[in-house]
Every structure is written in C-alpha cells, then in structure tokens.
Amino acid sequence: MTAFPDDSIALESDRLRLQPLRPGDEARLRAVFEAARDYFAAIGAGAPTPEDAAVRELAGCADTAGRAVAVLSLLETGEDAGAIGWWSGSPEPGVALLGMLMVAPAQRGRGLAREALDTLEVWLAGTGVRALRTAFPYRRQELHPLARALGFREMSIAEHAQLGLAGVGTSLWEKPIGGG
C-alpha cells in the first residue's frame, strides 16, 4: 500500500494543502519541526534536533511501505503551518497509525489539526482503511483530552493484550473512519 498514488498528489481541504514529503525535502520538514519544537516534549520523545528528526522521518517513510509524512500548508498564504505523519497497514491491514500531528504555535487554536486529520481520514477511507490508531506515553495525561477531541477513544488493557502489548506505559487510542 502506498501513502499517495504518486509524488504529484496533494490533499486539499478548505484551508490546507497536505503535501507529501520525500527525501530531499528535509529542510522543509526541519522548518516545521523548528516552529513546533514543543511537540517533541509533549509526546515525551525527548528533544531530537529538528535536523536529525527530519532526516530520520523522511528516510523512514522512504524505506517503509505505507508510511508517509505531509506538510500542512495554508492555501491562503502558502505558509507551512504543521505536519502530519501516518503509516497505512500498520499494525494490520485496514488500520493506519497516526504517528504525528503538529501545528506551529502561531497557527494553533484555529482548528487546523482537526481539518488536516479529517482530510487525511477521507483519503485513507478511500484506500480501504477502516480505523485510525495513535499512541503516546500514558503519563502524558494532558494529551488525553486532545485525543478525545479529535474523535479517538482510549483502548482498554484487554485490547492492548489482544494486540500483544503489555499496556504498561502506553496509551493506545483508536477511532473508526469511513464508516468503519
């Protein structure tokens, strides 16, 4: 499963263009990471340098079928306002893992994260994805209301166990998409 049919495809919403990034686009992703440095602290990922994080992210996408990252650009100005990353078919067919959703602080509070996620969900549903999952360290309680606001529900420890996860330390969330 590919993330986008080809490099020329971008998804658009009322205010955003979700443009897929490839190796060679590291500077563009690095600039988004620089603008949203607090994202890494919020998800408990430590503080990788934006350069290292951008290089690793795009290399990982290039090396992994179904994995993609797109920059969120404002249609009105062309300004890059954030990024969204996902992995179709992970952890199983019909499911996609949302690995990143960030909006630069200057653009927050305008519903751009929800708009980007809604746009991605419509496209994913058209490719056969029926559910979207995300995960983050359980101790990051401040992220729980955000996940709920985006339509995710926290999965139970029993569901973690069925997936082969111990459930300790990880908060796993899921939402159906496309009538899934």
Q: What is the CATH number of domain 11-130?
A: 3.40.630.30
HSE, side-chain direction, 13 A CA sphere, residue 7: 7
Predicted model pTM? 0.87
The tens digit of pLDDT for each residue in 11-69 reads: 999 999 999 999 999 999 999 998 988 776 666 555 566 678 899 999 999 999 999 99
> Which residues have C-beta within 8 Å of that of residue 138, sequence separation ≥ 6?
169, 170, 171
Q: Where are the domains of the chain?
A: 11-130
Query: Quick one: pLDDT band at residue 144, thresholds 50, 70, 90?
Result: confident
